[in-house]
Amino acid sequence: MYVLCSPCILNPGLRAEGITKPSDIEAFRRTQARCKEFGIRMIPLPCPETLYLGPARQPGTFLERLDSPAFLRLLDDLETEVKEIIRENGPPLCIIGVNSSPTCGVTTTYYGSRGDESPKRAGRGVFLSRFPEIPAMDAITFSRYRVYLAAPLFSAAERTYNAYLAGLLRENFFSVHLPQDAGDDSAGREKDVQARLFTTNLSALDAADIVVAVIDGADADSGTAWEMGYAFAKGKKIVALRTDFRHVGACEHVNLMLEQSSTVVSIPEALLETLSAPLLLKDDR
């Protein structure tokens, strides 16, 4: 299992001068950490901009700096090189690119403007666009993989379902904190155990990129609701899974505040799609 990746994810020094922020460095670090945790090899793509303009270069759009026959010939050569990598290693899981890059953008790229057009436009950069058959993900999206699984855990059925969801997420390269695995799985808890569990779960919530919350039932579990509210206040992404077909109001599946603070899905497959699961991207090719 391997991914192709923009080379600046492994070596930020390849980027144009002055554009790399601390948040970029953190995203690149955590992208590497995710791959290391799940045994995914990272094979860097060649960097067309560095090869054409050199390592010491100012930022610029494709039309400003790269729109030339010589650069297009370079892209032809590099495309052949990448196809040889794929021939030797098999299809990659995906390409991990860097949004806004004129060459390696995934959903946005600084292509340049003609007339009143915006220099930034939707779509892949000019290099990644040569591989439309390979799914691509922006490094920032890929780097957000630490999940806190908030769910009721008071019955054997609930704990079994939680374990199933955690396994499904881990199969898709998400690191999952499941409170029942931390010992939050019985009623016989002394005050010191309660304090330890609260601290453990709160630390995991703080470290998480995403909260996945199970909100089945006539009303959502109170602990799960608290965890969702805390995550929302911290600005974290929340995806709520409700397989229960009951509605609590004319227009609401569940509590209004929970619905409005999260993306609500009804099946695990939709959960994976919302989280941009890499294996799901590969299967959809």
| Residues 6 or more apart whose Cβ sits within 8 Å of residue 53 | 65, 66
Q: Strands (DSSP E) along 38-113, which ranges?
A: 41-44, 95-97, 108-110
Check whether 44 has a pLDDT greater than 80: yes
61, amino acid identity: T
Give CA–CA dist 34/40, Å, rounded.
8
Six-digit token string for 73: 């010939």
- Sign of the C-alpha dihedral computed for residues 70, 102, 10 and 135 taken in this order: negative
Q: Would strands 120-122 and 108-110 be described as parallel, antiparallel, or unpaired?
A: antiparallel
Listed range (22-36, 188-202, 232-246, 270-284) with the worst mean pLDDT: 270-284
In this structure, what DSSP letter does residue 127 have? T
183 vs 257: which has the higher pLDDT: 257
In this structure, what DSSP letter does residue 18 have? T
What percentage of the chain has pLDDT greater than the value 70?
94
What percentage of the chain has pLDDT greater than the value 90?
73
Sketch out the chain's domains with CATH numbers. Answer: 2-142 (no CATH), 146-283 (3.40.50.450)
Listed range (25-29, 35-39, 79-83, 151-155) with the worst mean pLDDT: 151-155
Check whether 34 has a pLDDT greater than 70: yes
231, amino acid identity: A
pLDDT in the model for residue 27: 96
Question: Per-residue pLDDT averaged across 219-240, rounded?
Answer: 93
**Cα–Cα separations (whole angstroms), residue 31 to 38, 105, 233:** 11, 16, 25
Please identify which residue in the block is written with the tokens 């890499």. 278
Whether 179 contacts 213, CB under 8 Å: no
Question: Per-residue pLDDT averaged across 21-34, rounded?
Answer: 96
pLDDT in the model for residue 285: 45
Whether 143 contacts 116, CB under 8 Å: no
pLDDT in the model for residue 185: 61
| Backbone torsions φ then ψ of 132, nearest 5 degrees | -65, -20
Question: Per-residue pLDDT averaged across 58-72, rounded?
Answer: 93
CB atoms within 10 A of CB 154: 13
Q: Would strands 120-122 and 2-5 be described as parallel, antiparallel, or unpaired?
A: unpaired
The pTM of this model reads 0.88
